[in-house]
Chains A and B, each alone.
Chain A
Amino acid sequence: QKEVEQDPGPLSVPEGAIVSLNCTYSNSAFQYFMWYRQYSRKGPELLMYTYSSGNKEDGRFTAQVDKSSKYISLFIRDSQPSDSATYLCAMSFDSNYQLIWGAGTKLIIKP
């Protein structure tokens, strides 16, 4: 069993829909949770960063962490074709320099 599980997709939704992307993890010691967006043939860019549990909102994006269920989510409201990309979740322990990565979910927003 991988430490971080993420459905590879692809996930295809119509423009304007609400998108839900998820990761599950097995190690309860993870404290920091991140979502990265990666366009084709580009480096990943940090989208959302959350410490411990709770929600964080930034424009159309909301990140949720449920440590009791070992489950993190990224919601995208009013999805746009420009949101089409691969979304990678990552997490780390306290004071650790390594990130543990999900495999990424490919998202396609249809105009």
Chain B
Amino acid sequence: DGGITQSPKYLFRKEGQNVTLSCEQNLNHDAMYWYRQDPGQGLRLIYYSQIVNDFQKGDIAEGYSVSREKKESFPLTVTSAQKNPTAFYLCASSISGETQYFGPGTRLLVL
């Protein structure tokens, strides 16, 4: 089955710790995205990548980092510089920009 997988489903972060969220797709899509969703709010773009080895900052990139070494994978690291990381994180991919397909999400909580 083609799709997007995210892991883990839940992630707990201690203060000062960096954590990495996984996103993998087997749809052969060129573009991949990371969004943050806070309760009762829409999606805010963190980073996106149109091709391998290239990525751009979105609206709220501070405190986050990404890599795109393979077409299928786009991991997101939440660094200790992100002071309010508790949120629902969504990964998406698309062939072109118009329609994006989402993974099931990772819920990040701070201990």
Contacts and interface: CB of A to CB of B under 8 A. Distances in A.
A32 interface: yes
B31 interface: yes
Nearest to A32: B98
A1 interface: no
B71 interface: no
A25 to B, nearest CB: 13
A99 B40 contact: no
A43 B42 contact: no
Interface stretch (A12-20, A61-69, A88-96): A88-96
Contacts of A99: 97, 100
A92 B105 contact: no
Interface residues of A, number: 25
Contacts of B88: 41
B102 interface: yes
B102 A49 contact: no
Contacts of B6: 43
The winner among B42, B48, B94, B100 for most chain A CB atoms within 10 A is B42
A101 B99 CA distance: 12
B43 A88 contact: yes
B102 A92 contact: no
Interface string B83-111: 00000101010101111111111010000
Nearest to B49: A97
Interface string A34-53: 10100001111110010100
A34 B99 contact: yes
B90 A97 contact: no
Interface of A: 6, 8, 32, 34, 36, 41-46, 49, 51, 88, 90, 92, 95-99, 101-104
Q: 3 closest Cβ contacts across the A-B interface?
A: A43-B102, A97-B97, A103-B42
Interface of B: 4, 6, 31, 40-43, 45, 48, 50, 58, 88, 90, 92, 94, 96-105, 107
Given A46-B100, A49-B98, A104-B41, 6 more contacts: A43-B105, A44-B43, A46-B101, A95-B97, A97-B48, A103-B40
